[in-house]
Structure 1
């Protein structure tokens, strides 16, 4: 049923919860897990400027090496945990608009399932901050499993 599972990660606690779900499903079906970190260049452009953001989109991080390190560390967590379970894990880092790159990556890699976290924001908070998860749900035809970060608060 699932051969290729994508788990977008940003290294947050919410992403951690999604990672565990993705790995559990991958283990059950013997699927390959794809760990994707997207450097959100839209949010970075306000502080860096267009020229620096264009360089990052092209993979030239320059003095922004810490961004690349943070991205690689986040995908590495998925890779290490997956390999501990005997799973094949593909790591990928890209830069741009997160929901668009998640959609593109899913289409380009024949992804069967996207597993991602949701911060559970609502109302004005979600309207102001936007939601990568919500935008991904709207833009892709690939099934998406949303892991609600508030689930731990309900126990």
Structure 2
């Protein structure tokens, strides 16, 4: 599987499971001598509250952005160059697709809880990434159900 991938993007949610997803992406990047990028996407506060709050949310959004950058740094600094760590604001699947296309990503690695039933019907970030990606997508099983894997 040598040099099959040249640029691997790992998309994380900044939970403890992010380390497992990053580890899997690092293994693939190392085997392929590929560039490794990591990103986290913050949904805009306006989306969460539908514009119903009569106040400027800019400073709160800025604080969330700074916190996300610090948390991503904690997860990634030992493994990913600072210039390849990205925090963006937007809808996660859309921003991951945009980044992947702009940066010529060959493989997107995301975490997946392997939910069933309504959660599957309603969709998740990993499902959204899978269905719109122009490159390969690896969903790494995480969470309670995935702890016995590996």
Which TM-score bucket, shorter chain as reference? 0.7 to 0.9
Aligned length: 144
1:114 corresponds to which residue? Answer: 108
2:147 corresponds to which residue? Answer: 152
- Counting only pairs closer than 5 Å after superposition, residues 36-51 of structure 1 correspond to structure 2 as 36-41=39-44, 45-47=47-49, 49=51
1:68 corresponds to which residue? Answer: 65
CA distance in 1, matches of 2:77, 2:40: 15
Q: 1:116 to 1:89 in 2, by over 3 A?
A: farther
Answer yes or no: is the 8 Å Cα contact 1:36–1:92 preserved in 2. yes
Answer yes or no: is the 8 Å Cα contact 2:101–2:134 preserved in 1. no
CA distance in 1, matches of 2:25, 2:83: 11
Q: Is 1:28 equivalent to 2:23 in the alignment?
A: no
Q: Secondary structure at the match of 2:89?
A: strand
CA distance in 1, matches of 2:71, 2:50: 22
Deviations 1:25-57 (A, max 9, x none): 12222221111111123x7523372799xx98x
Computed over aligned residues only, the root mean square deviation of the Cα atoms, in angstroms, reads 2.7
CA distance in 2, matches of 1:78, 1:112: 22
Residue 120 of structure 1, CA deviation = 1.6
TM-score by length of 2: 0.80
2:86 corresponds to which residue? Answer: 92
TM-score by length of 1: 0.78
Residue 94 of structure 1, CA deviation = 1.1
Structure 2 residues not aligned, in runs of 5+: none
Q: Is 1:104 equivalent to 2:98 in the alignment?
A: yes
Structure 1 residues not aligned, in runs of 5+: none
1:17 corresponds to which residue? Answer: 20
Answer yes or no: is the 8 Å Cα contact 1:15–1:117 preserved in 2. yes
- Write 1 or 2 for the structure with the bigger share of helix: 1
